[in-house]
Amino acid sequence: MGKLDFSPIADTTRRAEIVALLRRAILTGQLEPGQKLNELRIAEQMRVSRAPLREAMRELVQEGILTSIPYAGTFVIDVTAKDIDDAYSLNKVLDEFAIELTWKLRDQRFFAELDRRHEAVKQATRDLDTTRQIETALQLHGLIYEWSDNSVLLETWQRLTSRLQMYFALHQHARNEPVPAEDVHETYVRLLKGKDMRAAQRHAREHIDLDFEELLAYARSLEQRASKGARADRAGHARGRPEGG
Amino acid sequence: MGKLDFSPIADTTRRAEIVALLRRAILTGQLEPGQKLNELRIAEQMRVSRAPLREAMRELVQEGILTSIPYAGTFVIDVTAKDIDDAYSLNKVLDEFAIELTWKLRDQRFFAELDRRHEAVKQATRDLDTTRQIETALQLHGLIYEWSDNSVLLETWQRLTSRLQMYFALHQHARNEPVPAEDVHETYVRLLKGKDMRAAQRHAREHIDLDFEELLAYARSLEQRASKGARADRAGHARGRPEGG
DNA sequence: GACAAGCAGATTGTCGACAATCTAACAAGA
DNA sequence: TCTTGTTAGATTGTCGACAATCTGCTTGTC
């Protein structure tokens, strides 16, 4: 008998596909923070009924990237500087923990996967594909969580990641510059391969701090803009149209 | 003009009420781990249609206390010893962080609230109300998170709490003994009022460890029973988890 | 002109029915 | 006996329509 490991077949429910579509639209910034999601219009565009769409939206609400107000609508979450700050400071703590757990589980496969993901980031950087660069960088970062053998920790980080990715995407959208050319993950990878766990943990903190200040500054500027036209945002004013699929 | 703070009016959607009902049923152990939720039957019992019920279920799936398999059904999550272990070890880390953040924000109101919640636990203990005892103990524990002024951390902990509460409820259901009569939170409260942050953090770890072993042992016995029964695991969600890399 | 009441329009929440899929039982064939 | 194909029943996934609610505009009154 052949010893082939079959991977589970794809979820064939419309709901799952809608979730994926919406999540991508949000995390890449096609749907802007604060924007209202009109169920009828989205359902029409996707050629589905509102039932699976609404179920998908509930999932994303619980995932933390949408927020829902009964009888008013469902909106992409607003990005506040405080949120970013909170998320990052928590991320630091989780990183330290993940490194600690992963440390003694590192093996040849871990290092290989680490290199593979690092390479993916560098490739995306060369391609000047900012969206993919964010994606791959977070995947590189996520390896220590996947390897930590703590499913609750992994799940927690993945939730956090959704927002972080959204924040990053916003940031990248804002500044038109393409991308940082230098490889900011070189040290991170090297330390994860090394023998000094403390050093790796320390670097994880500092590395995160890298363009944190820039991101925060951008978030604050967003807030100022928001506080001016707050009323219009809340009502779902037709400022930006959702880019259909 | 009177300076009255109005609390937000209750969510008037059926969905929200269904979520609350289901969550309570799960966290109190009325719905057992691994049990399937039949949509038609539950909808009939609650006198609602399946639409809001299904949306509610999606929320609880994302909340981590239900799990869904397309075209097969939605089930209460299975409790594995590993899950409990993972949740607790993460909880320790979060506790340390929460104490650190809260420490310099403590004030008179904090201490008052601390005492109030502590009193609630003692009251539930006197009343021999195990369910409420778990509830109040977790609320006491949650104060440092609410006070930490980090919404992401709070949210993370609340997700974790759902499961912890479920685990505790299971445990309490299992052993028919009423409750521990001694006040296990006395030291915790005292240290949170004191001046030695490190001591408080240290105690948080040890306090958690208190009946952890007992809970783990119970979870392991559950697993053995499950592996024998092998009745509802046709979808494979009770088996080992081959995820990871 | 200011302001409350009330009327449309649009949008969300909910319902009942239908379609797609799974499970289990049973028959046919090797 | 074991396997395979078929069928019936039950359950989940999806749809279109209706009810409840919100928003903005109009109207009438002062």
Instruction: Report chain B residues touching chain A, CB-CB < 8 A.
Output: 11-13, 15-16, 51, 54-55, 58-59, 61-64, 70-71, 82-83, 86-87, 89-90, 93-94, 97, 150-153, 155-156, 159-160, 163, 241, 243-245
| CA of A223 vs chain B CAs: smallest distance (Å) | 17
User: B58 vs A62: CB contact, 8 Å cut-off?
Assistant: yes
Q: Choosing among B50, B71, B86, which should be mutated to test the A contact, i.e. which has the most A CBs within 10 A? A: B86
User: Average pLDDT, stretch B234-239?
Assistant: 32
Flag if B245 and A109 touch (Cβ within 8 Å).
Answer: yes
Write the CATH number of the domain with boundaries B81-220: 1.20.120.530
Lowest-pLDDT range of A49-58, A146-155, A218-227: A218-227
Q: Worst-scoring range by mean pLDDT, A143-147, B181-185, B239-243?
A: B239-243
For residue A13, CA distances in Å to A10, A48, A53, A58, A166 come to 9, 11, 11, 15, 25
A163-194: pLDDT as tens digits: 888 888 888 777 766 556 667 789 999 999 99
> What pLDDT is attached to residue B221?
72
Nearest by CB to A86, which of B70, B82, B150? B150
The pLDDT of residue B50 is above 90: yes
> Of all residues in chain B, what percent carry a pLDDT higher than 70?
80
Q: Which DSSP category does A31 fall into?
A: S
Place of tokens 């220590």: A144
Of A83-87, A120-124, B103-107, B233-237, the range with the lowest mean pLDDT is: B233-237
**Which residue in B115, B123, B167, B166 sits closest to B140, CA to CA?**
B115
A235 — pLDDT class (breaks 50, 70, 90): very low
Does any strand D atom come closer than 7 Å to the Cβ of A54? Answer: no
CB contact under 8 A, B11 and A70: yes
CATH topology of domain B14-78: Arc Repressor Mutant, subunit A (1.10.10)
The residue type at A185: H
| Least confident piece of the model among A97-106, B61-70, B77-86 | B77-86
Distance measured from the CA of protein residue A226 to the C1' of nucleotide D29, in angstroms: 39
Share of chain A above pLDDT 90, in %: 57
Contact A182, A127 (CB under 8 A): no
pLDDT of residue B179: 58
Compute the Cα dihedral for A128, A134, A139, A141 and give only its sign: positive
Does B14 contact strand D, using a CB cutoff of 7 Å? no
The token duo for B144 is 């440092």
Structural domain boundaries in chain A: 14-77, 81-219
8 Å CB contact of B152 and A13 = no
Taking contacts as CB-CB distances below 8 angstroms, the residues of chain B near A163 are 152
pLDDT of A224 reads 62
Superfamily of domain A81-219: GntR ligand-binding domain-like (1.20.120.530)
pLDDT (0 to 100) of residue A176: 62
| pLDDT exceeds cutoff 70 at A44 | yes
CATH among 2.40.170.20, 1.10.10.410, 1.10.150.110, 1.10.10.10 for A14-77: 1.10.10.10
* Chain B hits for A70, Cβ within 8 Å: 11-13, 16
> What value does the mean pLDDT take over residues A151-155?
95
Give the per-residue pLDDT at B9.
Answer: 60
Lowest mean pLDDT segment, chosen from A75-84, B40-49, B76-85, B234-243: B234-243
**A39 or B80: whose pLDDT is higher?**
A39
Task: Flag residues 37-96 of B with CB < 7 Å from strand D.
Answer: 37-40, 50-51, 54, 68, 70-74
Distance in Å from D20's C1' to A71's CA comes to 9
* pLDDT score at B235: 34
- Virtual CA dihedral for B171, B67, A136, A172, nearest 10 degrees? -100
pLDDT, tens digit, for every residue of B20-32? 999 999 998 899 9
Residue of B nearest to A153 (CA): B90
Work out if B36's Cβ lies within 7 angstroms of strand D.
Answer: yes
pLDDT at B200: 95
Q: What are the helix and strand counts (H, E) for chain A?
A: 11, 3
Q: How many beta carbons lie within 10 A of that of residue B184, not counting itself?
A: 14
Task: Determine whether A63 is exposed, middle or buried from the number of CB atoms within 10 Å of its CB (0-12, 13-18, 19+).
Answer: middle
| Interchain proximity A160–B151, CB inside 8 Å | no
List of residues 6+ apart from B113 with CB closer than 8 A: B143
Nucleotides of D under 7 A from a protein CB: 11-17, 20-24
| Region B126-152 average pLDDT | 92
- pLDDT band, residue B170 (cuts 50/70/90): confident
A63 vs B62: CB contact, 8 Å cut-off? Answer: yes
B173: tokens are: 């259901």
The pLDDT of residue A180 is 63
Specify whether the backbone of A240 is left (phi greater than 0), alpha (psi in -120 to 50) or beta. Answer: beta
Answer whether B14-78 and B81-220 agree in fold. no
Residues A79, A222: Cα–Cα separation, whole Å: 8
A37 pLDDT band (50/70/90 cuts)?
Answer: very high
Q: What is the pLDDT of residue B199?
A: 95
Position B56 scores a pLDDT of 97
Q: Which residues of A164-198 are buried (b: 16+ CB within 10 A; e: fewer)?
A: bbbbbbbbbeeeeeebeeeeebeebbebbeeeebe
In the complex, which nucleotide's C1' lies nearest to the CA atom of residue B74? D12
CA of residue A215 to C1' of nucleotide C16, angstroms: 50
- Cβ–Cβ below 8 Å for A86 and B54: no
Query: Which residues of chain A neighbour B241 with C-beta distances below 8 Å?
Result: 151
B237: pLDDT strictly greater than 60: no
pLDDT recorded at residue A208: 61
pLDDT per residue as tens digits for the range A210-221? 566 677 777 777
Average pLDDT of the residues in B167-194: 79
